Amino acid sequence: MEELTAVRRQAIAALADAGVPSPGVDADLLLCHVLGISRSELKLRQMRGDAFDPAYRQQFTELVAARRTRIPLQHLTGVAHFRYLELKVGPGVFIPRPETETVVQQGIDYLHAQGIDNPRCIDLCSGSGAIAAALASEVPGSSVWAVELSEQAIGYTRANCQPHQVNVLHQDASQLPAELHGTMDLVISNPPYIPPNAIPREAEVREHDPQMALYGLGEDGLQIPRAITAQAMALLRPGGYYVMEHAEVQRESAAAMLREAGFTHVAGHEDLSGRARATSGYAPQ
């Protein structure tokens, strides 16, 4: 019978050979998924020199082979981790990224600084619902909306948001009902923003994330973000706050876009790796 450590080592080598960026982490997470255990339990079993149950061998081998073709790890496990949440994901929905966690933090910091009781927040182009679910779970008393257009993604939006009592709207995020206008304290969006000539380098993104969630249209990739930004201005109450994620190369154009839409105190924000990640502004008082 094979030792768990040997099986793990073989998987890491196979993933590294295929160019998978984090072969050790991916091998561990696939093992945990197959065995139904936590990473701490996996570590304990390795330290004890436990055997790998042959009943799981075929499933694990198939998952490693699939990951070698650069199918996203999250599509294989059906799970993505975002801030304090475990989200359901799969083909047809954009996989939430760690850098978006800092965009959410900008919004939460604003709400805390303002001391707003029972804030009203909306996540435009919600995808998996990561931003909306994070806001609803981390901001006590908040009322949160998530807006998603994609037929493929909306099921994930609902699955991830409804446990947190988020209001999910299946429609175009740039054409929301007038009754929502002027009622929001916070608008956050991670819209499609990639310019048409900027094809993502990572195979997982290029081949598996839905194009509808990636490309922002127009020469600069900001056609959809401009429509979202105009909608954000309509949704916010005077003094309300808007935060939008964008590409590093769009730092200046995103700031100009927010100013043109009428936002004040426009500021850029970097993610934990120091890259320009988001731009924010306030609705005029």
Q: What is the DSSP letter of 201?
A: S
Whole-number Å distance between alpha carbons of 145 and 147: 7
Tally helices (H) and strands (E) across the chain.
Answer: 12, 9
Q: Are 225 and 253 in contact (CB under 8 A)?
A: no
Q: Is 106 helix (H, G, I), strand (E, B) or coil?
A: helix
Whole-number Å distance between alpha carbons of 243 and 187: 6
Q: Is 192 annotated as a binding residue?
A: yes
Q: Are 211 and 91 in contact (CB under 8 A)?
A: no
CA neighbor of 64 nearest in space, from 106, 125, 115, 9: 9
Q: Is 101 annotated as a binding residue?
A: no
Q: Is 56 annotated as a binding residue?
A: no
Backbone angles phi, psi at 270, to 5 degrees: -100, 155
Q: Is 62 annotated as a binding residue?
A: no
CA neighbor of 137 nearest in space, from 118, 163, 170, 117: 163
Q: Is 148 annotated as a binding residue?
A: yes
Can you name the residues that pair with 11 across neighbouring β-strands? none
Q: Is 53 helix (H, G, I), strand (E, B) or coil?
A: coil
Is the CA virtual torsion 31, 35, 38, 42 positive or negative? negative
- Known binding residues for S-adenosyl-L-methionine are 148, 190
- Known binding residues for substrate are 190-193
- Known binding residues are 148, 190-193
